[in-house]
Amino acid sequence: MKNIIVAQSGGPTTAINASLVGVVKGALSSGGYDKVFGALYGISGVMKEEFIQLEGLSDEELDRIYTTPSSYLGSCRYKMPDIEEDSSIYEKIFEILNKYEVAAFFYIGGNDSMDTISKLAEYGSSIGSDIRFAGVPKTIDNDLVHIDHTPGYGSAAKFIIASMLEFAHDTSVYKVPTVTIIEIMGRNAGWLTAAAALARNEYSDIPQLIYLPEVPFSTENFLNDVKDVLKTTNNVVIAVSEGLQDENGVYLSATSAAEDKFGHAQLSGVGKILESLVKDELGVKCRSVEINILQRCAAHMASASDLQESELLGEKAVEYAAAGKTGYMTTIIRTSNEPYEYKIETAELDGIANQVKQVPIEWINPSRNDVTSEMIDYVRPLVCGEVQLEYKDGVPVYADISHLTGTV
Amino acid sequence: MKNIIVAQSGGPTTAINASLVGVVKGALSSGGYDKVFGALYGISGVMKEEFIQLEGLSDEELDRIYTTPSSYLGSCRYKMPDIEEDSSIYEKIFEILNKYEVAAFFYIGGNDSMDTISKLAEYGSSIGSDIRFAGVPKTIDNDLVHIDHTPGYGSAAKFIIASMLEFAHDTSVYKVPTVTIIEIMGRNAGWLTAAAALARNEYSDIPQLIYLPEVPFSTENFLNDVKDVLKTTNNVVIAVSEGLQDENGVYLSATSAAEDKFGHAQLSGVGKILESLVKDELGVKCRSVEINILQRCAAHMASASDLQESELLGEKAVEYAAAGKTGYMTTIIRTSNEPYEYKIETAELDGIANQVKQVPIEWINPSRNDVTSEMIDYVRPLVCGEVQLEYKDGVPVYADISHLTGTV
């Protein structure tokens, strides 16, 4: 018996289940594996032997999971100790892997998850195990190194772009100067915020201003930028990254705690802070909108190309493992921008966990309030294609996750 | 020459342009009208003679406008003075209507807009004018009287339901007790918040708790409710209306002002307030999400039945005017719930402006933390049907609104 384990980890995305489906299909089509164990709640589910079996899922069920947002298997935020520090966890995990006759382990996740799979592969090598370990990347933040772009990013970007265009329509109706600030996820990298630029079209230049965490944020420059745009239009919409930092590297959102009516401390996001600033300093009507978790779970606006690539990364991960490879992450290499072409290869896991890929400085304009056409060309192919969902009574039909929603 | 004027007013919705298309199509098909003037920025555009002509729009252009969010003609928030108080504005408007040979005036909007059209009709009658005046209703809040439900509500509800289901997936991935509070629009009526109940399905009971502004909010009961739900699940998601009020009728959001790092006052919404409360009083991980303006402009998730009804209300408004009627609003009378059937009739404008239709108390459960099946049955037909948008490079294609986005 040769079985596999697949698990998901880190923050949810719209594409992480497409990779899961890719792993399952890859395992089934390879002919080399028998059972496919899905570990619930990431590596912690492996340690507790919380498995559901996936090899019996029908094509219809797999199609449903493919378009379902968030992690079908649940997730965890568990950091594996260094092997030298505490090898007992590794011993326990390998005992379980052997008990379940696991020949390959696939971990779908972001940089922390790549750290986990890297350590497991390393421990495996050290004890001469022939179990294969592979990482399948995902993160809406698009901040992993060794990959052109990450699964989940395209779908999140597509939702942000569509929303931004809808905001352009929503905010244009009154003939009164107004500023609308849209706060977008991305604590250390501005990829998602930068994508907002793709909402611009022949009749709208919204968002007129874009601020990324890659460059220091200056309140003075910001207010001057807004005043400038207000000279030519009533309706200013601004895309800002949640991770904006001042010239000292301090997050704008870090020091805004205040007490509410119950005497409880409240932390405000960047959007609210800039909203107050515009109101008070410019005396202009201002509203802020935080797109929040919708950008990572709005599967009804998923990018078809994102899901296809995510599935392929999962499938290929199994293919490489079946061929004997271990200790890698499948990755996307872009070979052409127009037409958009890419190939799937493998990347070393080393360094992925400890690096953050930011937007290149040369893709940010000299005034630091917009992105360049290179940035736009980079994102365009990643948001293409729409996913057709089934609806019942007007509501999208997603995969049943009652295995996660049980009692405590 | 017999022309018409159509204008839009009040807050944007996803369905307000379908009503505009209905008015244009109704005017063209009636055979009784020549030009269709679209006044920009509501009644204030009439006073400034800011018109664009709509009778020459192609079917393709009308189809595009039909699915475009927000007000294609722009909007205003202008309250007409009482006629006795200041009749000069009325004289001026009628002068313009006569100049443009206007035989009928259609105003698409919420309760303030119905007040405007009512006053214009009244003034017209008082001077013996034969210009016809009609209101076409819309508001995502669904709080107009004399109508079963308002255009815009179904689409906003559909987006809220889909988002709530996606939140159910997003929030279920960790095996840690967490509370997520979703703040939904509706200052004085809980219709939109109540709709969140339709996200529940065979595998998810999210949102487990729903709080509406129709009944006083008790912090103590709320905390006990949350504690109760946490006994049986890790993952609590709560739908709250932005307009929650305490037993003295004071908005929860009214007194939470605090200073941020720039020394500026910040007002927090209900979601943030309850988030702090849960964190501090229950010591549980908590996040709040404000769906914000997305719920009124997310045309990519519009309800097809909502748009159809909205168009019909516009078309019928013209039909009634052509038949000689004036001083009315077209309205929807529901004749059957299952199968869902309705008819379009007219309602008096009197009283619409000054009344708020709230969720009936008997549709709220005795514990005041949920809605009943009657509420769910009421909403279900209103969110049915999906709208197929055209996409270009992965982005929805909406109608060109460059007539609104020009310089100041």
Catalytic residue list contains B115: no
Q: What is the pLDDT of residues A382-402, one digit of tens each?
A: 999 999 999 999 999 999 999
pLDDT at A147: 97
Q: Which residues pair with A336 in a beta bridge?
A: A341
Q: Which residues pair with A53 in a beta bridge?
A: A37
For chain B, percent of residues with pLDDT exceeding 70: 96
pLDDT at A283: 96
> A253 pLDDT band (50/70/90 cuts)?
confident
Cis status of the peptide bond prior to B360, with omega within 30 of 0 = no
The answer to whether B158 contacts A300, with C-beta atoms less than 8 Å apart, is no
Residue B161 C-alpha, separation from nearest chain A C-alpha, in angstroms? 7
Q: What is the pLDDT of residues B86-103, one digit of tens each?
A: 999 999 999 999 999 999
Q: What is the pLDDT of residues A169-187, one digit of tens each?
A: 999 999 899 999 999 999 9
Q: What is the pLDDT of residues B283-324, one digit of tens each?
A: 999 999 999 999 999 999 999 999 999 999 999 999 999 999
Average pLDDT over residues A33-57: 97
Query: What tokens were used for A205?
Result: 């230049």
Q: In a 3-state reduction of DSSP, which class is residue A29?
A: helix
Q: What is the pLDDT of residues A194-226, one digit of tens each?
A: 999 999 999 999 999 999 999 999 999 999 999
pLDDT at B406: 58
The answer to whether A74 contacts B402, with C-beta atoms less than 8 Å apart, is no
Of A172, A177, A205, Cβ closest to residue B404 = A172
Interface test with A, best of B174, B208, B286, B291 (most A CBs within 10 A): B174
Interatomic CA distance for residues B195 and B79, integer angstroms: 31
> B255 pLDDT band (50/70/90 cuts)?
low
Q: What is the pLDDT of residues A84-119, one digit of tens each?
A: 999 999 999 999 999 999 999 999 999 889 999 999
Residue B17 near residue B66 (C-beta atoms within 8 A): yes
- Between positions 225 and 254 of B, the ones with CB within 8 A of A are 230-235, 252
Average pLDDT over residues A317-324: 97
Phi-psi region of A292 (alpha: psi -120 to 50; beta: other; left: phi over 0): left
pLDDT at A408: 42
- Between positions 177 and 216 of A, the ones with CB within 8 A of B are 177, 198-199, 201-205
List B112, B115, B141, B370, catalytic entry: B141
- Contact of A74 with chain B, judged by CB distance below 8 Å, is answered with yes
pLDDT at B76: 92
Q: What is the pLDDT of residues B340-387, one digit of tens each?
A: 999 999 999 888 888 999 999 999 999 999 999 999 999 999 999 999
What is this model's ipTM? 0.96
pLDDT at A256: 54
Predicted confidence (pLDDT) at residue A232 exceeds the cutoff of 80 = yes
The helix or strand, by DSSP H or E, that contains position B102, with its residue range, turns out to be strand B102-109
The DSSP line for B108-154 is: EESHHHHHHHHHHHHHHHHTT---EEEEEE--TT---SSSSS-TTHH
Q: In a 3-state reduction of DSSP, which class is residue B101?
A: coil
pLDDT at B408: 43
Residue B185 near residue B12 (C-beta atoms within 8 A): no
pLDDT at B254: 76
Mean pLDDT score across all residues of chain A: 94
Residues 6+ away with beta carbon under 8 Å from A95:
none
Interatomic CA distance for residues B68 and A173, integer angstroms: 13
Residue B13 near residue B157 (C-beta atoms within 8 A): no
All residues of chain B having their beta carbon less than 8 Å from the beta carbon of residue A407 are 232-233
Predicted confidence (pLDDT) at residue A31 exceeds the cutoff of 60 = yes
Q: What is the pLDDT of residues A278-294, one digit of tens each?
A: 999 999 999 999 999 99
Residue A225 near residue A181 (C-beta atoms within 8 A): no
Cis status of the peptide bond prior to A207, with omega within 30 of 0 = yes
- Contact of B269 with chain A, judged by CB distance below 8 Å, is answered with no
pLDDT at B297: 96
The answer to whether A294 contacts B166, with C-beta atoms less than 8 Å apart, is yes
Burial of B78 (0-12, 13-18, 19+ CB in 10 A): middle
Predicted confidence (pLDDT) at residue B397 exceeds the cutoff of 70 = yes
pLDDT at A351: 80
Name residue, tokens 């035989």. B103
Higher pLDDT, B104 or A255: B104
Query: What tokens were used for A208?
Result: 């007129």
The answer to whether B169 contacts A398, with C-beta atoms less than 8 Å apart, is yes
Give the residue from A374, A386, A391, A396 showing the smallest Cα distance to A155. A386
Residue B333 near residue B313 (C-beta atoms within 8 A): no
Residue B35 near residue B53 (C-beta atoms within 8 A): yes
Q: Which residues pair with B288 in a beta bridge?
A: B181
Predicted confidence (pLDDT) at residue A265 exceeds the cutoff of 90 = no
pLDDT at A88: 96
Interatomic CA distance for residues A185 and A171, integer angstroms: 21
Predicted confidence (pLDDT) at residue B263 exceeds the cutoff of 60 = no
Average pLDDT over residues B51-60: 97
Q: Which residues pair with A181 in a beta bridge?
A: A238, A288
Q: What is the pLDDT of residues B177-235, one digit of tens each?
A: 999 999 999 999 999 999 999 999 999 999 999 999 999 999 999 999 999 999 999 99
